[in-house]
Structures are given as C-alpha cells and as structure tokens.
Chains A and B, each alone.
Chain A
Amino acid sequence: MAYSDKVIDHYNNPRNVGQMDKNSQEVGTGLVGAPECGDVMRLQIKVNPETQVIEEAKFKTFGCGSAIASSSLATEWVKGKTVDEAMEIKNTDIVKELALPPVKIHCSVLAEDAIRAAIGDWKKKNGVAEGAVAAQPVAAN
C-alpha cells in the first residue's frame, strides 16, 4: 500500500513523542486500543489550570504507520487549543489531513478516542463537569 507523503513525514519524524507524569494534577492521560488489535495509543495533555489551554501534548503509539501518524498529528492539533476546542477535533479531519485510505480510518478514530480519553482524565482529576461533550471514548469500529 502506498502511503501519503504526510503519513510518511509523521512516521519518519513523529512530533511530540514522550511521556509526562501521569500523576500530575495538570496532566490528562488517554490510553486507548488493545495490543491484540495491533494498536495502542497513549496521548497525554498538560492543561493550564487558569486558561484551560493545552500547553503540552505527548504521545506514544504501538501500531501501523497510519496509527503513528494519526496520533502524532493529534498532538500537534491539540496544542494551543482549550480543552473544549480540542474536543471538537474529529477523526474525519485526521483522515482528510493524512489522506488515509478506508482500511486505515480506524487509526483516526483511535486518535480521536485518545484525545477524548486524555481530556476526560484531566476533567475527572480536576473536578470539571463532563459538560456537553462526552469524554468517554467511543467504540472505534
């Protein structure tokens, strides 16, 4: 299968790889996927308690090139957004940006799940009401 240049770029130069202290009050962690399905993503965000802006994002992913690219892109996109803005990121935006083929759409769904799970974790830690947008990850496929 041929990959788009953007997938190859994110795969070769993944952005924001790493981890943050998951016990920190300001950090929200989302761990989604399953090893037996061939992809696991961990996405972490560090949120400014005053402004609710995501100031830092890190990821690690076990998965195919498209899964790595989707989560790398997700970290780029959430940075600088408020948690509410970040909740608006849709998997279809990721599909479009990376030109993912139909068989790789689940990678983008997983990345969206990871964002929501990280925000959900942060909200839980900080006693922020769930609000209008559900923080629970949705079933991917």
Chain B
Amino acid sequence: MSTVINDSISVPANVHLPIYMDNHATTPLDPRVLEAMMPFFTGKFGNAASRNHSFGWEAEQAVEAAREQVAKIIGATAKEIIFTSGATESNNLAIKGIAEMYKERGNHIITQVTEHKAVLDTCKRLEKAGYRVTYLPVKADGLIDLEDLKRAIDDKTILVTIMIANNEIGILQPTAEIGKLCHERGVIFHTDGVQAIGKVPVDVNAMNIDVLSLSAHKLYGPKGVGALYVRRRNPRVQISEQINGGGHERGMRSGTLNVPGIVGLGKACEIAREEMQEETKRLTALRDKLKQKLESHLDYVHVNGSMEHRLPGNLNMSFVYVEGESLLMGINEIAVSSGSACTSATLEPSYVLKALGLGDDVAHSSIRFGLGRFNTEAEVDYVADKLIDVVQKLRELSPLYEMVKEGIDISKIEWQAH
C-alpha cells in the first residue's frame, strides 16, 4: 500500500500556509491596535506615575483613556479597573488577594474542575495555606450544575471563582445565574473572563460579577498586559495587594505601568466591543461550516462539550480511532491544538475532556479549533478538506478503526495498559 499521509490536497490561491486556527492560545495583534500603541514606545515614553511634567501627564492620560475603554466592554466604571501583566497575574491577585482580605470571615473557596491552571494551581496553593477548596464537577456538556453550587456554599464560603468561557471546549458557564446565587448568599464572585471578553457580551452588573480577570492577547491585543475588574459598590470588594512597591493602581498592584501595552489593551477592547456582533455572526457561521463539513465526511467524530453554550469561534472535536498528535503531524501547516497526552508536557490527556467523562481514548483523539478575526472562509474549507483527508488515511492505519468496522467491541478487549 502506498499511503502518503501528508500530501495531495491542493492549496487554493487565496489560502496561505501556515494557517493559524489556534486563537484560544493567543491571537495576532490587530494592526489597528499596533497603530495605537506605536507612539508610546518612542516619543510618548513617559512614566504614567510622573506627576510633574508633560511626559508623565501624556502617559497618564493615555492610561486613563484605556481604563475607560476596558471598563466599557464589561459595563464597569474606569475606577474599577486595575492593570496587570496578564490574566495569570489577575487570577492570582484576585484569588489570593480576596482569600487574604476576607480570612476573618471564612476560609472556604469554591471553584470547578475545568478552570484554567492559573485558577486551579492558585487554589491548590491556598489549600496548603489552610483554606478549604471545593472543586465542583461538570456535567457531560461541560457546564456546572447550579444545584451543586447551591449546596456547596456554606457559612465559611468567602469566594466563588468560576470562569465564563472554557479555553479548551469553549463552553459558557451560566455566569449570570452563578452571580445571582453568590449575591443572594453574600459570597464574592470572581470570574476568569479571558476567553469570553471581546467574544460574547459580558456585563458585570447584569451578571453580578464582583471581580473579573481579562487579558489583552486573547482579543487581538499585545501579550504581557491584562486587567482585573474589582467592584467598588454593592458590594465594595477589597483585595490584599500581592506585589508591593510604589502603590500604583490604588495600591492593589505596584509596578510602573506598561503604557504601550495598556493603550493596546484599551484599543483592542474598543474594537472588540464595536465589532462583536458582526464578528460573532461571521465566526459562528464559519465554525458551523467547519463542523458540518467534518461531520458529513467522517464517521466516529464527537463534539466535546455543549454546542448551545459555546464561544462563537470554538470547536473541539474528537476523531475517534486516530491519535491527536499523529493527526497534528499530518496537518502540520495548520496550527490547532490537541488534548492528546503526547502533545502535553505531562503526558496526560486533557483534564478538561476527562472531566466531561470522556474516556482517555477519546481525549487522545481531540482537536481544538479556535477560529478568529483573521480566519477566512477559504481557510475553513481548506482545513476541513485537509483534515478529512488525513483522518481517513490515518484510519486506514488504525487497527482500532478496522476492528470497529469489523464489528469488534474494542472495549471488551483486554488491553495491556503500559
């Protein structure tokens, strides 16, 4: 047999390789954002904390304008926005800062199992420091059960931290309902909004969010800058600072402000807010087309997580009986990611997919597509064609696919785990 895995599908003239379709990992900088940032690297280089000359004033003015832009995309006020180095720092600051500030009130924190490691590892650290953490399970569709949350809240609960959108499967948690529940019970609600902000409408008041983390590079802004929203009234939330120094950002986050980065974050928020409706429509159509094409040409494909409660640009699919890393190798000019163990540093398959109750074999076969602002319909068509071709070829190579086709129940085979 002369199988050639990676060949044959011709590349249309309007498609340029490599194709970037991994927009949950990061997004390219929007050229309009870069344009807004440029003056602040050279001519307008001032320190926003310099109070007595025009260089400082100019920088401060730009930072305050960005603060307005960031506040606006989540329905907050500018004074409630603190700039950070990114969402990992925002999550650390929020969770550790609240735990420390409210330790007299209680020591119990609630989160859920498919959070990003920036939340889970921070919670683990707090457990070592004597806090009690409840990790809520998720249902097969990836959403938490609100009844579980209701039951988990007790008189020692100080914080609930549950993300809006998941970075792997793109599912949207019932954020407004979580917020409502937290406020009824007098518990602070923090949410990791990294994947959601700029992609779906978020309003901190309508959703009763008290603290929210976001990052610029997930919404076509620069890397190395993010923000934390901290509610100032109803209720006023206080956070213990985690970085000490010059008292920047109302003492909550010392350190000279990254002015060009902050300007970029502001501009990225402004563009996202203005274009969200249009972009959602376009990305949903592209995503659904990709899904439809793959499903109509391949058997044994499995969508991971809810399709109903999902980010517009996300598709997470398992191509059962084909191992994810080998699939990535066959489509090496398409940038996507896999939940396969072989693609992770730990050699463990995705904990998010496992939390949905999927078997390891299905997790090993998963691919995450992250469609974004700069993906075209021609790219989607090419990616679908290429993927169908490679999956079919790898299945010719797969003993599991052959057995299933022959009617053998592979779950009944006594495999030798190794």
Contact = CB atoms under 8 A, between A and B. Distances in A.
B386 to A, nearest CB: 14
Contact of A17 (B323, B342, B359, B396): B396
Question: Interface residues of A toward B: which range?
Answer: 35 or more
Contact of A35 (B325, B326, B400): B400
B3 A34 contact: no
A32 interface: yes
Contacts of B399: 31, 40-42, 60-62
B258 to A, nearest CB: 32
Given A62-B399, A65-B326, A13 B3 contact: yes
Contact of A11 (B326, B342, B396): B326
Contacts, number: 105
Contact of B416 (A3, A12, A34, A60): A34
A18 B3 CA distance: 11
Interface string A35-73: 111111110000000000000000011111101100000
Contacts of A141: 418
B323 A63 contact: yes
A139 interface: yes
Contacts of A62: 321-323, 397-401
B415 A35 contact: yes
A3 B326 CA distance: 11
A38 B341 contact: yes
B68 to A, nearest CB: 44
A134 interface: no
B319 to A, nearest CB: 11
A14 B342 CA distance: 20
Nearest to B342: A64
Interface in A99-141: 103, 106, 109-110, 137, 139-141
Interface stretch (B4-12, B34-42, B203-211): B4-12
B17 interface: no
A67 to B, nearest CB: 8
A140 B418 contact: yes
Contacts of A42: 399
A62 B312 CA distance: 32
Contacts of A11: 5-6, 326, 329-330
Contacts of B416: 32-34, 137
Contact of B398 (A37, A61, A140): A61
A63 B326 CA distance: 7
A36 B360 contact: yes
A39 B416 CA distance: 11
Contacts of A61: 397-399
B298 to A, nearest CB: 16
A19 interface: yes
B243 interface: no
Contacts of B400: 35, 40, 62
Nearest to B395: A62
Contacts of A33: 415-416, 418
Interface in A12-35: 12-14, 17-19, 31-35
A103 B347 contact: yes
Given A12-B6, A13-B2, A17-B397, A38 B342 contact: yes
Contacts of A110: 418
Interface in B396-418: 396-402, 410, 413, 415-418
A11 to B, nearest CB: 6
25 contacts: A11-B329, A14-B5, A17-B1, A17-B396, A17-B397, A31-B399, A31-B413, A33-B418, A34-B415, A34-B417, A35-B400, A35-B410, A36-B360, A37-B360, A37-B415, A37-B418, A38-B341, A39-B323, A60-B402, A61-B399, A62-B397, A62-B399, A62-B401, A64-B329, A64-B342
